[in-house]
Amino acid sequence: MLKKNDILKGVVSALGSNGEGIIKHGDYTVFVPYVLPEEEIEYKVLKVAKNCVYGKVLNVITPSKDRVDAPCSVFCKCGGCQLQHLEYEKQLKVKEENVKRCFSKIAGIDVEINKNVTGESPFRYRNKLQLPVSFNGKETVIGFYAENSHRVVPICDCLINSSWTAKLISAITLYVKEFNLKGYSDFDGSGYIREVTAKELNGSLIICLVLTTKKLVGKDRLIEILTEKLGLEFTLYINVNSKPTNVVYGEEFLLVHGKPEYTGEMFGIKYKMGVRSFMQVNPSVCKKLYGAVCDNASLSEDVTVIDAYSGAGLMTALLASKAKKAIGIEIIPEAVEIANQLALDNGLSNKITNYQGKCEVIMPDIIAKERQQNTNVTVVLDPPRKGCDYAVIKAVKGSLADKVIYVSCNPSTLARDVGLLTGALKYDGNEIVRVKDYTPLYEIDSVTPYDMFAQTKHVETLVVLSRVLNR
Ligand SMILES: C[S@@+](CC[C@H](N)C(=O)[O-])C[C@H]1O[C@@H](n2cnc3c(N)ncnc32)[C@H](O)[C@@H]1O
C-alpha cells in the first residue's frame, strides 16, 4: 500500500494529457509533473486516491535525451507552463500523439494526425496577460497563481508572453511601492488592487487595473510611470470589482488614458480590440488556423455557413466574405454586439446574421430553416473546452451540411463529438457507447493540431469532416 510522503523510485512510461509523467507502481498509476518518458526518477507521494497517486519529483536519476533546461526561473512554480523542460520539436510530437490517443481511446477511431502547425516563435508569442495582485502578509506581490491554488507566485517576466511583460510588471511594482498600495486578499476581501490585465494589438496595449474601489490613487504618476517604462502606445482602464468572486472583472470599466480601442486587420477584415473583446492568444497561429478554416469550408457564392460558438465574430466575417451568407451563434450578448459592429464596419451586414443564445437551444431551428431553403450548408463548430451539447451534434447530423469544420481546444471532447458525428459513437439516451460496424455519416478528411499554446499542455485542433454522399 502506498501512502503519503513515501519516497520511491520509478521509470516514466509516458506523458499524460496534462503533460505529467506516468509511472506504473504495482496496481497504481502515479502522476508526476515535470518529468519525461524513459527517465528514472525519485519522487515523493503527495496524495493517494483510489487507484491513482499524485507525486512530486525529487530527483531525476537518468535524464531523457529530450530534456532541456527550462529557461524560465519560475517554471514548476507558477503553473502556467508544463512542458518547458521538453525540447520543442518533441513537445509538438507529444501533442500530436495526445490527439491521436484521444481519438483511439475515446472514439475507437484510428486516424492520421497531420504535423502540428507552429507559430512565429515558441516563446514570447502571447499577446495577453492577466496578473493577480495579492498581499502575502508582508508585501504586495504581482504574479501568477500556483497550479490549483490561489497563492500568487511573484514574477518579473513571463517568457511565453510578449516582451512588454517585464516592463509592465516593473511599472506596476513601482506604482504599488510609491503609493504603498495593498494587494487583494481572497481570505477577507481586504486590499486595493486585485488584478492587472493587458492585451496587445500591433504594438499598442490596453491595460486594465481591477480595483476594489472607483478611486484611482496617483493617476498622473501612474500614467507617467507607464509611459516611461513601456515606451509603447497604451490605453489605461480601471475596473471596479469588490465582490468575493473568482470572476476577474466587475461590471464597470472607466477609461483613464488613451484610445478606447484599437483596430486590427486579418485577411482584409477589420476588427477592433476593446477592453472587453475576446482575442485568441497567439496571433500568428490564429491567422494560420482561421485561414485553414476558410480554405477547408468549401466556400462559394451558394454556400451558407453556420458559425456556431462565434465569439466576437471575426471568423464569421471571414467566412461570410467568401460565402453566400454566414450565421453566427454566440451566448454572450456583448460579443454579439461586437460581432454586429464588425459586420457593419466591413460592409458585410447584408451577409451576416448574428444570433444571441445557446447553440443547443437555437441551432436546431436555424438549421431546419436552412434545410427548407435547400441551400448548401457548411457548419463551423468552435465550442469551449466542454465541447458541443448533444443537441448541437444531433442538429448537425440532421443538417445535410456537406462540410463540418470543428475547432477545439480539448482533444478529449473533440474525439467524443467527432465520434458522434461520424457514427463511431452513439448516445443511447443515457450514455455514449461505441458502435461496432457503422457506415460513416461523415468522413474525417484531416486532423491538424495547431500549437497555439507552446510550452503548455494545451493544443488547438482543427478537424475537417465531409458528409458521405447519398445518405
Ligand atoms: C472557443 S470560443 C470561440 C470563439 C470564436 N469562434 C473565435 O474564434 O474567436 C467559444 C465561444 O463559445 C461561446 N459559448 C459558450 N457556450 C456557448 C453555448 N452554449 N452556445 C453558444 N455560445 C457559447 C463562448 O462565449 C465563446 O465565445
Query: Taking the domains of the chain in order of start, what are their residue ranges?
Result: 1-66, 100-119+280-467, 128-265
- Selecting among 81, 294, 359, 409, the annotated active-site residue is 409
Q: What number does CATH give the domain 128-265?
A: 2.40.50.1070
Q: Please tell me the predicted confidence (pLDDT) of residue 56.
A: 96
For ligand 1, atom 7, the nearest C-alpha belongs to: 311
pLDDT along the chain (471 residues), means of 10: 94 94 95 97 95 94 98 92 97 97 97 98 97 94 88 95 97 98 92 97 97 96 98 97 90 96 96 88 97 96 96 96 97 93 97 98 93 90 97 93 97 98 95 94 97 98 89 59
Would you identify the CATH topology of the domain 1-66?
OB fold (Dihydrolipoamide Acetyltransferase, E2P) (2.40.50)
| Same fold? 1-66, 128-265 | yes
Supply the pLDDT for residue 153: 92
What pLDDT does 149 receive?
84
Q: Is 72 a catalytic residue?
A: no
**Predicted local distance difference test score (pLDDT) of residue 446:** 98
**Burial category of 66 from C-beta neighbours within 10 Å (exposed 0-12, middle 13-18, buried 19 and up):** middle
Tell me how far apart the alpha carbons of residues 409 and 310 are, in angstroms, rounded to a whole number.
15
Residue 311 CA to ligand 1 centre (angstroms): 5
Which fold would CATH assign to domain 100-119+280-467?
Answer: Rossmann fold (3.40.50)
State residue 372's pLDDT score.
87
**Pocket residues: Cβ below 6 A from ligand 1:** 278, 309-312, 315, 329-332, 335, 358-360, 382-384
pLDDT at 469 (0 to 100): 65
Query: Which atom of ligand 1 is nearest the CA belonging to 290?
Result: 8
Alpha-carbon span 253 to 238, nearest angstrom: 6
